[in-house]
Chain A
Amino acid sequence: MKIDTDKKIVLIGLDGVPYNMIEEFSQDGTMPNMAKLISDGVFRKSESTIPEISSVAWSSTITGKNPGEHGIFGFTDLHKNSYQLKFPNFNDLKEEPFWQQWDCESVIINVPSTYPSHEINGVHISGFVSIDINKSVSPSSLIPTLMDMDYRLDVDSSKAHESMDLFLEDLDKTLSARIDCYRYLWANRSWQFFMLVFTGTDRLMHFLYEAYEDKNHKYHDKFLEHFRKIDSVIGEISERISDKDTLLLMSDHGFERLDYDVYLNRLLIDENLLSFTAGANPSLENISNDTIAFVMDPGRVYINYSDKYPRGYVDRGDKDKIISKLKTLFSKLKISNKNVIRDIYTKDEIFFGKYIDDAPDLTLVANEGFNLKAMMKTPGLYSKGIFTGKHTQDTAFLLAKGISSDAIGEKPKVSDVRSILESTIK
């Protein structure tokens, strides 16, 4: 695919920002530039992947593919035929991101799950979970420039566990550095595709969603300030492009208030469907050989098949029986009189592609307020901790300028972004 030489495509990601928040902030004056784009463009609620986490959602965004095709099902996975944890990264993505297939120069900044960075026709700076700056920047000759601008790969979220003030300070520094980086590359590189993702929004909402909801909250203004700063960048970018160009803003999933963290493995343990070798720590590596199923973050349920795992127990012939048992168990789960689980999908219902074998046997989506977790050692079946916000699957947003509403459709999915952008390229 070739982009006309005088055309530019710009994709801005706001990690985790829900449709309703954009709507509210564009109406109440917090994000005036966003408001202007909404009145000039197409603004839609969009759907994240299932499961609704950044690693999967961004992988689907940049490839336009189903997780069964690109092979990323979460931040964590297991090595083949074992219970040993692995952290899938950009090298495990089985489909090429679209920028590799567009015949143009690109600048890619901070897209989650693109670590380690790959050499491309242009610049690629990887996003969460990036560890080593030396493996995060292509070309590496850019590293000294980034270090000079105090570029930060990610907010240090551990700070929030100690002091919100320190966390917010770091969040703001990270955003400033990201903005400096975008400005520098926008001006100093030739490019036709520019992609920039702001991830601080997601971190902010994990810890301080309550500060968004509560106008009297100590950090309410800080919360708004972060969005104002991003809005000013959006205004700047809108000014810098022409009518021929395409601008698409999006989030990879939405957010809402978190009422309870719910520990699904705990439920399985309590129901004697999951146990551990005698005397050993409750962890995946120590699963006992009579375990029926286990969960990985956020709500990925795997059946402990005897032909798949070293201490597998379940015969393939019993699949339907086990699935129906698990479905009943999860669908009945209630906390404070509310059903915890909204939807339960078998792998065939939502996944397709070459790597479907690696997909979870069941994937759960929670009802409002419930955050599904796979933690093994927990204070109980559920609790309320430091986190006040959680991801949502069906309230992401998409906002486009220079793209017809037909090309976008009524309820786009993150995996449609690729074809939506390509509809503007001949």
Chain B
Amino acid sequence: MSRSLDHLDKLENQSIFIIREAYSQFRNIALLWSIGKDSTTLMWLVRKAFFGKIPFPILHIDTTYKFKEIYDFRDKYAKEWGLNLIVARNEDAVANGMGPDKSKFECCNQLKTIALKQAIAREKFKALLLGIRRDEHGIRAKERVFSPRDEDFEWDYKDQPPELWDQYKTKATEEEHLRVHPLLGWIEVDIWDYVKRENIPIPELYFAKNGKRFRSIGCECCCGPVESDADTIDKIVQELKTTQISERSGRAQDKEDDYMMQKLRSLGYM
């Protein structure tokens, strides 16, 4: 039996460390679960980090426009995994008939952003765990493992805290919540490799049916499927590997150095 760390083990270790560290720092924390493959992978890691019993709530922002499969999936696994699931909606906006037909931007803002803001204020969460990956587009790629948002959810460049490891003493102030990104070191292919290795359940929408599949899932109205025949994880990974060149694991020494750094840091060095 070998304990040498392969790429996924390393990512898993890092993520679990971040998850535990986030929880120990901000007890009042929640996992934001979109039910997509990334946040479901994050859920899997959180379950591992706490040996199957997640000590904080799972927050699902319900726009009411999600795919039926997503709701079914959510309810099935919330029960199976014994989740403390909080479903949050912007009830006023829903009651006022907000929908994508009004304005896609306004729909998202009202049903997602504002709903989330309300939920955070109501539940007094100090931090949220999010399943954002490094290879996601735009500003997201720049996010650090911990990133603060003020009350208006503005991006505060100046107030960026140091990376996770140097963060032991910094506490979130009353006004802001912290966004923690345990998957920031992962790329899309890593997620698929890991979903396969761990046999993590994910919604069927990701797999090709009639020559189409969803690469990301969310609201039914705003997600378009892509042309694909990939109806298994292997085929999806193959598809991703042929459609994009990805730099995979570095040299073995780099991995070992990373792990050493992690060990030294857990003892307060560096």
Q: Give me the interface of A with B, judged by CB distance under 8 Å.
A: 75-76, 85-87, 128-129, 131-134, 144, 147, 154, 156-163, 203, 206, 261, 297-298, 371, 373-379, 383-387
Closest to A128 in B: B263
Can you list 30 A-B contacts with CB-CB less than 8 angstroms, sorted by A residue number? A75-B264, A75-B269, A76-B270, A86-B257, A128-B263, A129-B264, A132-B3, A132-B4, A134-B4, A147-B1, A156-B266, A157-B266, A158-B17, A160-B266, A161-B24, A161-B266, A162-B49, A163-B20, A206-B267, A206-B268, A261-B268, A297-B269, A297-B270, A298-B269, A375-B166, A379-B169, A379-B170, A385-B168, A385-B268, A386-B168
Q: Check B268–A161 contact: CB distance below 8 A.
A: no
6 shortest interchain CB distances as A-B pairs: A377-B162, A162-B20, A157-B266, A158-B266, A133-B3, A377-B166
Count chain B CB atoms within 10 A of each CB in A162, A203, A377, A378 and give the residue with the most: A162
Count chain A CB atoms within 10 A of each CB in B3, B21, B261, B263 and give the residue with the most: B263
Q: Check B23–A162 contact: CB distance below 8 A.
A: yes
Interface of A is mostly: loop
Contact with A along B136-173 (1 / 0, CB 8 A): 00000000000000000000000000110010111000
Does B75 lie at the interface of the complex (its beta carbon under 8 Å from any beta carbon of A)?
no
Q: Which residues of A contact B268 (CB under 8 A)?
A: 206, 261, 371, 373, 385-387
The answer, among B2, B23, B24, B170, for a CB contact under 8 Å with A134, is B2
- B:111-144 near A, CB below 8 Å: none
Q: Which residues of A contact B264 (CB under 8 A)?
A: 75-76, 87, 129
Count chain B CB atoms within 10 A of each CB in A297, A375, A376, A387 and give the residue with the most: A375
A298–B264 alpha-carbon span in the complex (Å):
12
A261–B2 alpha-carbon span in the complex (Å):
38
Does B256 lie at the interface of the complex (its beta carbon under 8 Å from any beta carbon of A)?
yes
Q: Check B269–A76 contact: CB distance below 8 A.
A: yes
- The distance from the CB of A333 to the nearest CB of chain B, in whole angstroms, is 19
Task: Using A129-B264, A154-B263, A379-B170 as known contacts, list a sample of 13 further A-B pairs with CB atoms less than 8 Å apart, ordered by residue number in A.
Answer: A76-B264, A86-B257, A131-B256, A133-B2, A134-B2, A134-B3, A157-B266, A158-B20, A162-B24, A163-B20, A206-B267, A375-B166, A383-B169
- The distance from the CB of B14 to the nearest CB of chain A, in whole angstroms, is 10
Q: Check A385–B169 contact: CB distance below 8 A.
A: yes
The answer, among B23, B170, B263, for a CB contact under 8 Å with A157, is B263
Q: Which residues of B contact A371 (CB under 8 A)?
A: 268
- The distance from the CB of A271 to the nearest CB of chain B, in whole angstroms, is 20
Count chain A CB atoms within 10 A of each CB in B163, B263, B268 and give the residue with the most: B268
Does B5 lie at the interface of the complex (its beta carbon under 8 Å from any beta carbon of A)?
yes
Given contacts A132-B256, A134-B4, contact A158 B169 (CB under 8 A): no
Q: Check B259–A131 contact: CB distance below 8 A.
A: yes
Q: Check A375–B5 contact: CB distance below 8 A.
A: no
Q: Check B269–A87 contact: CB distance below 8 A.
A: no
The answer, among B2, B20, B260, B266, for a CB contact under 8 Å with A87, is B260
- The distance from the CB of A169 to the nearest CB of chain B, in whole angstroms, is 11
Contact with A along B23-62 (1 / 0, CB 8 A): 1100000000000000000000000010000000000000
Q: Check A163–B24 contact: CB distance below 8 A.
A: yes
Does B262 lie at the interface of the complex (its beta carbon under 8 Å from any beta carbon of A)?
yes
- The distance from the CB of A46 to the nearest CB of chain B, in whole angstroms, is 23
Q: Give me the interface of B with A, judged by CB distance under 8 Å.
A: 1-5, 17, 20-21, 23-24, 49, 162-163, 166, 168-170, 256-257, 259-264, 266-270
The answer, among B4, B257, B262, for a CB contact under 8 Å with A158, is B262
Q: Check A87–B5 contact: CB distance below 8 A.
A: no
A36–B24 alpha-carbon span in the complex (Å):
42
A419–B61 alpha-carbon span in the complex (Å):
69
Q: Which residues of B contact A156 (CB under 8 A)?
A: 266
Q: Which residues of B contact A383 (CB under 8 A)?
A: 169
Q: Which residues of A contact B267 (CB under 8 A)?
A: 157, 203, 206
Closest to A202 in B: B267
- The distance from the CB of A396 to the nearest CB of chain B, in whole angstroms, is 18
- The distance from the CB of B262 to the nearest CB of chain A, in whole angstroms, is 7
- The distance from the CB of B25 to the nearest CB of chain A, in whole angstroms, is 8
A133–B256 alpha-carbon span in the complex (Å):
12
Given contacts A162-B21, A163-B24, contact A132 B270 (CB under 8 A): no
- The distance from the CB of B52 to the nearest CB of chain A, in whole angstroms, is 14
Closest to B20 in A: A162
- The distance from the CB of A191 to the nearest CB of chain B, in whole angstroms, is 26
- The distance from the CB of A170 to the nearest CB of chain B, in whole angstroms, is 12
- The distance from the CB of A164 to the nearest CB of chain B, in whole angstroms, is 10
Q: Which residues of A contact B163 (CB under 8 A)?
A: 377
A117–B201 alpha-carbon span in the complex (Å):
41
A156–B266 alpha-carbon span in the complex (Å):
8
Q: Which residues of A contact B1 (CB under 8 A)?
A: 144, 147
A275–B257 alpha-carbon span in the complex (Å):
26
The answer, among A129, A134, A386, for a CB contact under 8 Å with B260, is A129
Q: Check B263–A129 contact: CB distance below 8 A.
A: yes
- The distance from the CB of B35 to the nearest CB of chain A, in whole angstroms, is 26
A144–B4 alpha-carbon span in the complex (Å):
14
- The distance from the CB of B161 to the nearest CB of chain A, in whole angstroms, is 8
- The distance from the CB of B252 to the nearest CB of chain A, in whole angstroms, is 9
Q: Which residues of A contact B261 (CB under 8 A)?
A: 87
